[in-house]
Amino acid sequence: MKSHPIILGLFIVLSLNSSDTQAVSSAVEPELNQLIKRGEYLARIAGCNDCHTTGYALTAGNIPKDQWLMGDQLGWQGPWGTTYPSNLRLSMAKLTEQQWLNMAKTAQFRPPMPWFTLRDMEEHDLKAIYHFVQHLGPAGQPAPAYLPPGQAAKGPVISFPAPPPQP
Ligand code: HEC
């Protein structure tokens, strides 16, 4: 009897799954754990938590890790309007690693998001942040939506004066 090609294909996939991928994943795991650790370190020292984690900067960083990077209700208001640090746990969960790298290297967000920090970050560190956020997993609510200049914010805001004139 001739084997049906789909059944044959399925058989190959199943047999690959049982032994070979186990060997691969145990080799990859220490590397992934290292990335996750580095991502946590970067979230602490590269300022991500300072803005994207509610209360972080006001509690000397004393916020449990499972509440990190869920965005903030505190608005940042200036000539650009009012921006809210995004819930990275939700927004980054939707991205593949490659999409994240592309975004980090090219996107320009509104103030005070230091997008140039992401642009200048080494790819290894960008990957570390990505895998740390994936490891934390999606959680929380989206941050309030951006408000254009002149539109009143409902909650508290930090108000910036216009930037100094360029020399
Ligand atoms: C000074 C405050 C501040 C710091 C520090 C900061 N962010 Fe942001 N971030 C913001 C704000 C505000 C926005 C929303 C900008 C907008 O609406 O265009 C934002 C937007 C973003 C976005 C894009 C929007 C999205 O939905 O994903 C990403 C990604 C991001 N931040 C990642 C980071 C990472 C990673 C770090 C640490 C390296 C960081 N931010 C540090 C304030 C900050």
Cα-to-chain-centroid distance, residue 11: 38
Render pLDDT for 118-159 as a digit per residue (tens, 0 to 9). 999 999 999 999 999 999 999 999 999 999 999 999 999 999
pLDDT digits (tens, 9 = 90+) for 20-50: 555 555 667 899 999 999 999 999 999 999 9
The DSSP element (H or E) to which 77 belongs, if any, is: strand 75-78
| Cis amide prior to 5 (ω within 30 degrees) | no
- Do β-strands 81-83 and 157-159 pair in parallel, antiparallel, or remain unpaired? unpaired
Atom of ligand 1 nearest to the CA of 42: 38
**Tens digit of each residue's pLDDT (9 = 90 or more) over 51-101:** 999 999 999 999 999 999 999 999 999 999 999 999 999 999 999 999 999
pLDDT at 5: 54
Q: Tell me: pLDDT of 6 over 90.
A: no
Q: What is the pTM of this model?
A: 0.85
Ligand 1, pocket-test mutation among 38, 42, 50, 52, most atoms within 8 A of CB: 52
Predicted pLDDT at 19: 47
User: Residue 163's pLDDT is what?
Assistant: 75
89 Cβ neighbours under 8 A, 6+ residues apart: 68, 69, 70, 71, 133, 136, 137, 138, 139, 140
